[in-house]
Amino acid sequence: MNVLVIGSGGREHAICLKLKESNNLKSLYTVPKNSVFERFSKNIDLSPDDFEGIKDLCIAEKIDLVVVGPEDPLSAGISDYLISKGINVFGPCLKGAVLESSKQLAKEFMDRNYIPTAKFKVFYDFRCAKKYIAELQKFPVVIKADGLCAGKGVRICNNIDEANTAIEDFMEKRIFKGSGMKVIVEECLKGKECSVLALVDGKRYLLLPVARDHKRLNDGNTGPNTGGMGAVCPVDLSTNDIKKIEEEIITNFMNGIRKERIDYRGVIYFGIMMTEDGPKLLEFNVRFGDPETQAILPLVEDDLLDIFYKVASGKLDREKINLKNKYSVCVVLSAKGYPQNPLKGDEISGLDSIDKDITIFYSGIRIENGRYFTSGGRVLSLVGLGDSVDEARRKVYNNIKKIKFEGMHFRTDIGL
Ligand code: AMP
Ligand code: GLY
């Protein structure tokens, strides 16, 4: 098969490496232009929002499957467009993609379909939102901008001042533009978080091993929220917890898409809080998590291309995915200033001396004349496997010591 992967971050790097293990892969194409991706794929200079250009590429190169990595092209309708041209796509249609691009629509879907979630209220006017919070006087409270904000549109506010600032930033200053037209004010849930990902072919689902992201910038879960500073997989959930997640969240999601005629084909990511009252759904993502994917996929034994193709064609024919009997730990190295204002252009050294059993996934890196430079907030991640989380951790952290760049930052407690 000829396969096109859209996206050029660490997540897509992990997807590409796994697809390349397949005996069924003929040629791997990627967009957009990226100096890392051109090393292992036919990397084409096309923007992910150039739907027509991507369609032309698919026809010219006889692409059998398109895998869409990021949320932006999905919520702009790339799957609907390519499917209408007869192209197989791994990635949900618009009706599915809104579950990530509108927090309001996601929460309403949860409510209609009996999926446990935090209590919430939607506001269209900043004065109403501020008045509600002043009267509620219950902190912490969670304030979310309705639309896509690259993982930065959620604030956990500990007092009225923080809450008012969030509402001003989202609704008045419009720091996330149209995404702040509405805000969701939500009850703050307590517990441990986990990321549950399932591959869905429209009718059936296949569960991936549960991962845990580490969202805060600094050790001990302190500092601002980020896209994710590291991940561990699998997570120590009990069989009973997994059963509850399947019964109360995944089954209700599957029934919901059936009832609402959403032909969802791709991966669905359930961001779940394990509370004292059972699992509650914080959010949907309609794509793989980053950095969860870098931790999850190296554990998969099966041919991922075969599974993706079956997902895209609505023909999943298995109930379980075969996994290595290992643990994986992924640690992200970020640039100085991330997440607010990451510095770019610093040279990275030491990448050649990394042990053979460690995988490096590149997120924000540019290669020039064989030299590596930072080009984004999350620069790269290192993933190690072990017979225990401790062993995997040790391997990764031993290798991080070898890498250097100006202002390099990472958490030292991933997997602790
Ligand atoms: P979201 O984009 O909705 O997943 O939110 C990003 C992060 O904010 C989540 O991974 C949680 O850590 C946190 N969060 C979101 N909603 C809540 C909530 N209702 N209670 C506590 N934490 C939350
Ligand atoms: N790591 C969280 C996300 O991908 O949204």
Is residue 28 predicted with pLDDT exceeding 90?
Answer: yes
Place of tokens 């053979």: 356
* Ramachandran angles phi, psi of 268, nearest 5°: -120, 135
Ligand 1 mutation pick, 136, 156, 194, max ligand atoms within 8 A of CB:
156
List all residues 6 or more positions away from 234 whose beta carbon is below 8 Å from its beta carbon.
Answer: 209, 210, 211, 299, 323, 327
pLDDT at residue 172 tops 80: yes
Least confident of 128-132, 147-151, 203-207: 147-151
Per-residue pLDDT, 150: 80
**CA–CA separation, 302 vs 157, rounded Å?**
43
Q: What is the pLDDT of residue 284?
A: 98
Which of 269, 247, 239, 235 is CA-nearest to residue 92?
269
- Indicate whether residue 282 lines ligand 1 (CB < 6 A): yes
pLDDT of residue 400: 98
What domains lie within the chain, and their CATH numbers? 2-97 (3.40.50.20), 119-187 (3.30.1490.20), 190-312 (3.30.470.20), 327-400 (3.90.600.10)
Indicate which ligand has the atom closest to the C-alpha of 225. Answer: 1
Residue 151 has pLDDT above 80, yes or no: no
Global pTM value: 0.96
Query: What is the structure's pLDDT at 90?
Result: 98
Q: How far is the CA of 332 from the centre of ligand 2 (A)?
A: 13
Mean pLDDT of 194-198: 98
How many angstroms is it from 97 CA to the middle of ligand 1? 19
Residues 364, 378 contacting (CB under 8 angstroms)? yes
**pLDDT one-digit tens code per residue, 93-128:** 999 999 999 999 999 999 999 999 999 999 999 999
Please check the confidence at residue 386 and state whether its pLDDT lies above 90.
yes
For ligand 2, atom 4, the nearest C-alpha belongs to 289
Neighbours of 289 (CB within 10 A): 22
**Pocket residues for ligand 2 (CB within 6 Å)?**
151, 213, 227-228, 285, 289-290, 292
